[in-house]
Structures are given as C-alpha cells and as structure tokens.
A and B are shown apart, each in its own frame.
Chain A
Amino acid sequence: MSMLVDVLSWVCIVAGGIFCVIGAIGLVRMPDFYTRMHAASITDTIGAGLLLFGMMLQAGFTLIAVKLVMIGLLLLFANPTATHALAKAARARGLQPLLASGDDSSKP
C-alpha cells in the first residue's frame, strides 16, 4: 500500500515538474504578451498543483498536508487575480494583442 502511494507521488512530482518546464518553455516561445500569459498559467495551475499533490501523498494526514492544501488554495485564489490584473493593465496601457488573421469572418 505504501509502495503504491510512493509510486503515485513519484509520478505526480515528475509530471508536475515536466508541466512546470513546459509552461516555462511556452513563456519563452510564445510570440506576444497575451499568449505568454496562457503558458504561465500552466505552471501556476497544473504544474504547481501536481507537485503539491505529490508532496501531500508523501506527507500523509498531518499538519504538513494541511499547509500544502493552504498553499494550493492560495495559488487557486490569488494567481488568477494577479493574471487578470496584469492583462487588464496591459490592455488599459494600449498593448494590442496579436490576433489570428481573418478573425471576424471565420468564426466557428
């Protein structure tokens, strides 16, 4: 049983690390500011979430796990607010997003 939990937390931590790196790669690769935010939100949500879940499995039912849950809730509530504030400020400053060509005519 503890073997199974160990393997599961391994998988979660490695997958979380991979998602964090993918998000950071996207942060470098994406062409403009608004698309970069999408890449960053991968690191913030699923990367961090999987890492926290993996650590929770290692901690078991202790106060450490409760603290990890609190970190997760903080990320879940505060990060979208900061992202939204960034996007809104960028738009208010007049930073135009790069849009796909033929946007209005070819809407699905």
Chain B
Amino acid sequence: MFAAGAIALLLALALALVRAILGPTVFDRLQAANTVGTVAMMMLAMLGFLNGRPEFLDLALVYGLLNIVGTIAVLKYFRHGDLGDPGEHVEKQP
C-alpha cells in the first residue's frame, strides 16, 4: 500500500520537475520547487513506513522547515536583491 502511494508521489515529483524546467518566470520555478519540497516531505514519511524506520519522520519535519525557509529566502533575494533587507516594515499598521 505504501508502495502505491510512493509511486504516485514519484509521478507528481516528475510532473513538478517538468514545470520547474519549462516555467517561463522565476516564480513558476519557485512554485514548482515548493511543490517538490512538499512531495519530498511526503515521500520521506512514506519511506519511513516502507522500511519500518520511523526516524524518517524527523527528517521529513526538518525538510519541511527548510523548504519554507528556502522558498522565502530565495523570494526575498529576488524581490529586494539582499537577504538582510528589512522588507515590509515601513507599511506596518500602527
């Protein structure tokens, strides 16, 4: 049963990679990378069940955190050209 889920995830991974290669803008590629990250997270959890090694769930958790931080970091770099930019603080509501 886990093998069926894993195969479906691999298919989704391949399709997301197609978008990452085609994607005309950088945002398309980032969205594809984000999807690849989510699918990889699920894949890690699946692998843990498939091999009977639940430690893989910790890896999935860390991978998810890195995925979010990575997306935001690349986005910020493309938006402001600097990772240390304060960003949106000027328009914060009082």
Contacts and interface: CB of A to CB of B under 8 A. Distances in A.
A and B touch in the complex (CB under 8 A): yes
Interface of A: 9-10, 13-14, 16-18, 20-21, 23-25, 27-28, 33, 36-37, 40, 43-44, 47-48, 51-52, 54-55, 58-59, 64, 67-68, 70-71, 74-75, 78-79, 81-83, 85-86, 89-90, 92-93, 95
Given A17-B4, A54-B5, A90-B25, A43 B12 contact: yes
Contacts of A17: 4-5, 7-9, 12
B64 A28 contact: no
A47 B41 CA distance: 12
Contacts of B12: 17, 20-21, 23-24, 43, 47
B11 A67 contact: no
Contacts of A67: 54, 57-58, 61
A95 B29 CA distance: 14
14 contacts: A14-B5, A16-B5, A17-B4, A17-B7, A21-B12, A24-B15, A24-B19, A24-B39, A27-B19, A28-B19, A48-B42, A55-B45, A64-B54, A71-B41
B31 A21 contact: no
Contact of B9 (A20, A64, A79, A83): A20
A16 B12 CA distance: 11
Interface residues of B, number: 44
B79 A89 contact: yes
B77 to A, nearest CB: 10
A78 B11 contact: no
A35 to B, nearest CB: 11
Q: Is the interface of A mostly helix, strand, loop or mixed?
A: helix
B75 A85 contact: yes
Interface string B44-63: 01100100001001101100
Residue in B7, B12, B28, B64 whose Cβ sees the most chain A Cβ within 10 Å = B12
